[in-house]
Every structure is written in C-alpha cells, then in structure tokens.
Homo-oligomer: A and B are copies of this chain.
C-alpha cells in the first residue's frame, strides 16, 4: 500500500524504455506521476529536419501512435517521401515515414522560431497524451558519435549511421557524446530528479541511452545525489541484449555482456555510481551475489516484456523492489 502518490522519474531511451513505460503506466497507482527524462543524443539532422527518435518512440508508444510490429515509427505509415528521396539519389538508410515527417517538420519549425525542445516536446505531446511528462535530457545538441575502422584509421560517424546504415555490424572503436561537456540539463530535469520518490533506469541501452543521458554532468550529478532510490532493470539477459543491439556496443567498449557487468559499469551510488538496486532476469539469479558485493541491491525477476501482462508485472516488480 503506497500513500501518498509517488513521483517516479524514468531515464529512457527508445524502444525498450518505451515498452517498460507502458507497463509502468499500467502498474502505477492512479495518482502516481511519471516524468520521463528522454535521451536526445541519438537525435539527428536529416534534410534540415531535427529528428528525435527516442522522444518520438516514447511519445508514439504511450500515445498509441506507434507501429506495433516495428516498435518505432507510426501506424499506417507510408514511405513515399523516402522513396522519392531515393529516386533523387539521396541516402535513405534512415526510416523517414510520411506520417512521421509531420512531427519532424513541426519540431524543426518551432526550433527555428526559437522555441526550446522541452516546450516543443510538450506541444507535440498535447496531441498524443502519453500519460507521462516527457522531458528532453537537454536542450543543447548532444550527439552520439561512433568511431569505426576506416581506410585511414578511425572514421567517426553519427550513432544513427552506425546503428541503422551499418546495422551495428562493425566493431566500435570509440564512442563520443559530442556536445555533452557543454550541455545543461533540460528544463525541469533536475527538479524532477531531486523531487522524485523513485528513479528508474529501465532496460534501455546502457551505453547510448542511459549512458548518453548521464553524459550530461548535471543529470548524472542529480541522479547520484537525489534522495530517491535509483533502481535499474538490466537490459542484458544471459549474454545478449533483451532487444536492440546493446551487446555490440558493450563489446566494442570492452564491457562484458552480462547483467552483472552492466550493473558494475553503472556503479553503486555508495561508490560514486548511479544505482542503488538492480533487477536481473531469473535466469541470471547467479549474478545477484556478485552485484550485491559491488554495493548494489539485486534481485532476480522475469525481465522479458513479451506482452502487456509480463511488461506490467516487470513494472510492478520494479516498484515493489524499490
């Protein structure tokens, strides 16, 4: 029995975080308030438009606008603009759907009018009513860039190019959150973290989603110092990412692909990290002891979000563990 209402903050990337959030919305008490700090480091300028894949995936998923098969982009989507870009000889590795374009066009128009990304996101959410307050981690441009093997040493490319065009199939040699050093937390972000009753790191990519959000010093500092407990859900089950391609990134950065290694990478708050507690899958129960030795409470519960029921149960387990 929880009273009074909880203020829950979730640091989220795209698909995995959005899925967890849909479960959290089902699991929370009616008056609980959820604030999402969304990753913006995989945002990209494409054809003069500012595309924010993670913010949009959260917004569309929670607003019932997401394509349920792909888990990104819009329902009833068409791809005629993209087909035409290809006919003009332009690169079309990024999935720009016709319906999705409207979101990018409005965002870009408002950016050019001087409106901040937080306000823009709030206005877009007026349509989608995602049931959460969705805040960009920063309003400055932070972009994840990946160093890959090139003809003459390391070629640095935008994360999206690595992720989508190259299908994350080449070794990662370097990773940079370009712009992070100068970036400030977005409007409302610090207050939300400091005012939270619970901070959750959902099973988003630990490097390019959670790691990217924490690359903004102000945000990481707030997570390290908030009075709220910080509970994470492992994005790794066994030796593979639950969804997405987090494993390739971990491997490239020399981090073992396991629930325990990711927990230790994020670190215990008692030793300067960001975690108080960490949920691993029941199949990884053996890792609990070593995670707790690192100063992080740990517990094994079913992590697969196969359907609405298991997703909501994972959210309930997360709330209960906190």
Give the B-binding residues of A (Cβ under 8 A): 47-49, 74, 76-78, 80-85, 87-90, 98-99, 101-103, 105-106, 108-109, 112, 124, 127
Residues in B with CB closer than 8 Å to A90 are 102, 106
Least CB distance from A224 to B in Å reads 38
The residue from B80, B81, B109, B127 contacting A47, defined by CB atoms under 8 A apart: B109
State A81–B80 Cα separation when bound (angstroms): 10
Q: How many copies does the complex hold?
A: 2
Could you show 30 A-B contacts with beta carbons less than 8 Å apart?
Answer: A47-B105, A47-B109, A48-B48, A48-B49, A49-B105, A74-B84, A77-B80, A78-B78, A80-B80, A80-B98, A81-B81, A81-B99, A81-B101, A81-B105, A83-B102, A84-B99, A84-B101, A84-B102, A85-B102, A85-B105, A87-B127, A88-B102, A88-B106, A88-B124, A88-B127, A89-B127, A90-B102, A90-B106, A98-B98, A98-B101
Residues in B with CB closer than 8 Å to A47 are 105-106, 108-109
- When C-beta atoms are compared, the residue in chain B nearest to A102 turns out to be B84
Least CB distance from A141 to B in Å reads 15
State A98–B99 Cα separation when bound (angstroms): 9
Q: Which of A82, A84, A90 has the most CB of B within 10 A?
A: A84
Least CB distance from A100 to B in Å reads 8
Residues in B with CB closer than 8 Å to A74 are 84
Q: Decide if A81 touches B98 in the complex (CB within 8 Å).
A: yes
Residues in B with CB closer than 8 Å to A81 are 81, 98-99, 101-102, 105
